[in-house]
Amino acid sequence: MKALFLAGGRGTRLKPLTDRLPKPMVPIMGKPLLERNMLKLKDCGIDEIVLSTCYKPQSIEEYFGDGSRHGLKMHYASEDIPLGTGGAIKNTESFFEDTFLIFNSDILSDIDYREMLRFHKTKSAAVTIAVTSVDNPSMYGVIEYDQQGYAVSFKEKPQPQEITSNCINAGVYVFEPEVLKEIPSGTVVSVEREVFPMLLHKGYKIAVYKGCSYWMDIGTPEKYLQVHTDILAGKCKIPEIDFSSQGVYHGQNASIHGTAKVLGPVYMGDNVEIGAYASIGPGTVIGSNTRIDMGSRVVGSVVWDNVTVGSGAALYNTIVVSDCHVEKNDTYYNTVAI
């Protein structure tokens, strides 16, 4: 079975994390978000993936190649100019002859894709949309549905007085290939604002799948930090480790000085070096090949790979991007160090 990832966005709201990386490649606990979602799909029986790219496509293609390293078959459909979510889907039409999954590439969720596919078939739907509930849906696409579980209307980023449902589009869809013929070619089209309402108008059945208890749109640095906080708290599960049963995790060849203090939950990648009298955690993620020098303090922060934090430096609720050097005695609060 095949899946399509919409990975062409510029990630403007996530800047400066996306200055050098496309949004789907930002690391989540040491692995690109896109890789984490792909591996979850592989466990559900997906063996072929199409990637729709536009912004910095080379970094995605260089990392995944033909997919063989991940046990997948990969195809790429790169846009010269952004075509919108609907246009990007249309641009990949030739790859799909059967039921397939579509993903916005900036989402992390606990959706059971096998169950979503089963639900889609039982509803005899042309499209199934995963939804999740949020307290304030005004920044998202709100979906209203009937008692049988079929969509009846869509409101994209409604005004507060227009909100009649707190169920929002979770950015995961099941499509039957025949609906692709309804999307115009070679033009900018939004699947949320244009395609879904048009399909409803034409009488297509659009089912609403509600099996989602954890969902995060990793659209801003604040949300990026929050998803790591949720993983460390056990609210969002990752395959490698259960943080509800282990407070401190480190990869291979970690070197932690005997006088350093590590207060979980903390995740450390491979070849991490923690110097004397350093203090790490709680709520901290440290990438591979990173060194935290003597007397430094890192709390509630996410530090990427190949970083050096100088002696006496302090990081609080801060993201440090790869290959960055934090000068000694520098202090960062609630920011991004690049």
Domains 2-220 and 247-337 equal at CATH topology level = no
Residue 269: closest CA among 251, 290, 247, 293: 251
- pLDDT at residue 29 in the model: 94
Q: How far apart are CA 292 and CA 307, in angstroms?
A: 8
2-220 placed in CATH 3.90.550.10: yes
Annotation marks residue 157 as catalytic:
yes
Q: How far apart are CA 253 and CA 240, in angstroms?
A: 17
Mean pLDDT, contiguous 10-residue spans, the chain (338 residues): 91 91 94 93 90 91 94 92 90 95 93 95 97 80 88 81 79 96 92 93 96 90 96 88 81 95 95 98 97 98 98 98 97 95
Q: Measure the CA angle with vertex 107, ends 101 and 109; round to 5°.
A: 85
- pLDDT at residue 10 in the model: 81
Q: For the chain, give percent helix, strand, coil, nearest 5.
A: 25, 30, 45
Residue 279: closest CA among 316, 305, 233, 333: 316
- pLDDT at residue 245 in the model: 67
Residue with tokens 């998803």: 227
pTM equals 0.91
Q: How far apart are CA 10 and CA 204, in angstroms?
A: 32
- pLDDT at residue 177 in the model: 96
Kindly report, residue by residue over 129-158, the tens digit of the pLDDT: 999 988 777 777 788 899 999 999 888 777
- pLDDT at residue 140 in the model: 76
Phi, psi of 186, deg, nearest 5: 65, 25
Query: Could you say which of 15, 31, 42, 157 is catalytic?
Result: 157
Phi, psi of 139, deg, nearest 5: -95, 5
Tell me the sheet residues that pair with 286.
268, 303
Q: How far apart are CA 8 and CA 54, in angstroms?
A: 4
How far is residue 13 CA from its own chain's centroid? 14
Kindly report, residue by residue over 2-15, the tens digit of the pLDDT: 999 999 888 889 99
Q: How far apart are CA 4 and CA 61, in angstroms?
A: 15
Sorted by where each begins, the domain ranges of the chain are: 2-220, 247-337
The H-or-E segment that residue 226 falls in is: helix 221-232
The CATH homologous superfamily to which domain 247-337 belongs is: Hexapeptide repeat proteins (2.160.10.10)
Structure tokens that stand for 218 in this block: 């990793």
Q: Which amino acid is at 212?
A: C
Q: Is 187:195 a contact under the CB 8 Å cutoff?
A: no
